[in-house]
Amino acid sequence: MNILFVADPLEAFKPYKDTTFAMMREAQRRGHRVSACEPQNISWQTGGQVTTQVRHIALTGEADAWFVADETRPDGLASIASFDAVLMRKDPPFDSEYFYSTHLLEQAEREGARVFNQPRALRDHPEKLAILEFAQFSGPTLVTRSAADIKRFHAEHGDIILKPLDGMGGMGIFRVKADGLNLGSITETLNKEGAQSVMVQKFLPEIAQGDKRVLVIGGKPVPFSLARIPQGSEVRGNLAAGGLGVAQPLTPRDFEIAEALGPVLAARGLLLAGVDVIGDYVTEINVTSPTCFQEIFQQTGFDVAAMFIDALEAALAAA
């Protein structure tokens, strides 16, 4: 099987922790051939197919020089539909260019490509707003542009978290306690004086035990989560913000959430999703490029990448 990874530059990968690298490694171990491209190299012209500049690679097993060119296949322009599977693994932000890439990949689907996660599903499930559909699993949440609405929500709940809808890695997250210190200034910063929507959630003290990443693959939960635990005075558990990642078995509540959301997400073309859970509540549903494969494997021995490639092979076989 020939697999194309649409991703960030290969030279920027950190093989010791990168989930896309883990996928590539497991794919190659099974005899599949690995190729990569960057979204900015995808194009389409009338009368032709969606194409991209492709790098065909082989993994070396080395820590630093982790890949080499596959000399049996010269790099160059290729039709995306010519690959057996296309994995969209471009990291956020989900900006205009990411949006345009999903449309190009959707055209490639019309030409016969099999894309995971499906481009339309990526567009239909913005990672913070996706929880609106599953409110039964979410804590008190407000999405608004209105400073007055935010002020009322704070008055009701006392201790709140504010975050931009397009943030990633904990970027732009603020906590405002009962004293309301700097609430007005933070609101102005995030909502751009009413021009931009903000998500506001009741602060969940269970964050002290970690912001759990519950992975769902092919509609089924990975049996271990990665609890990202805030360090020091930091309120954010995100690994990018210095959180400590601790793998742990799913709780009964985690299973309940994953087993309810998993089949729904899978049926919509989301082969892989990362459900973020604090305490008993879902806070986000990550679909662009969910991570934590390697941390879970290193700490528990459960091979998440193998489960993922199993699901990918099954999805292709079922077509």
Active site residue 286: yes
Q: What is the mean pLDDT of the chain?
A: 96
Q: Where are the domains of the chain?
A: 2-124, 140-203, 206-317
| CATH class name, domain 206-317 | alpha beta
Whether 193 has a pLDDT exceeding 80, the answer reads yes
Q: Which is catalytic among the residues 55, 228, 238, 295?
A: 228
| CATH class name, domain 2-124 | alpha beta
- pLDDT for the residue 166: 86
Whether 59 has a pLDDT exceeding 90, the answer reads yes
pLDDT digits (tens, 9 = 90+) for 281-298: 999 999 999 999 999 999
- pLDDT for the residue 175: 95
Give phi and psi for 93, each to the nearest 5. Answer: -80, 155
Pairing label, strands 33-37, 2-6: parallel
d(CA 212, CA 275) in angstroms, rounded, equals 8
Q: What percent of the chain has pLDDT over 90?
A: 91
Alpha helices in the chain, H assignment, sequence order: 19-29, 96-110, 119-124, 147-157, 183-191, 252-267, 293-300, 304-317
pLDDT digits (tens, 9 = 90+) for 213-223: 999 999 999 99
Active site residue 128: yes
CATH number for the domain running over 140-203: 3.30.1490.20
Selected residue with higher pLDDT from 149 and 243: 149
d(CA 11, CA 36) in angstroms, rounded, equals 12
Q: Which is catalytic among the residues 25, 213, 254, 295?
A: 213
Pairing label, strands 224-229, 211-217: antiparallel
- Contact by Cβ (8 Å): 184, 147: yes
Active site residue 163: yes
Whether 237 has a pLDDT exceeding 90, the answer reads no
Domain 2-124 and domain 140-203, same fold? Reply is: no
- pLDDT for the residue 233: 76
- pLDDT for the residue 116: 98
Q: Which is catalytic among the residues 26, 254, 276, 295?
A: 276
- Find residue 201's DSSP bridge partners: 141, 161
Whether 104 has a pLDDT exceeding 80, the answer reads yes
Active site residue 213: yes
Q: What is the mean pLDDT of residues 228-248?
A: 85
Q: Which is catalytic among the residues 236, 238, 254, 295?
A: 236
Active site residue 236: yes
Nearest by Cα to 291 from 266, 279, 308: 308
Active site residue 175: no
Q: What is the mean pLDDT of residues 112-120?
A: 98
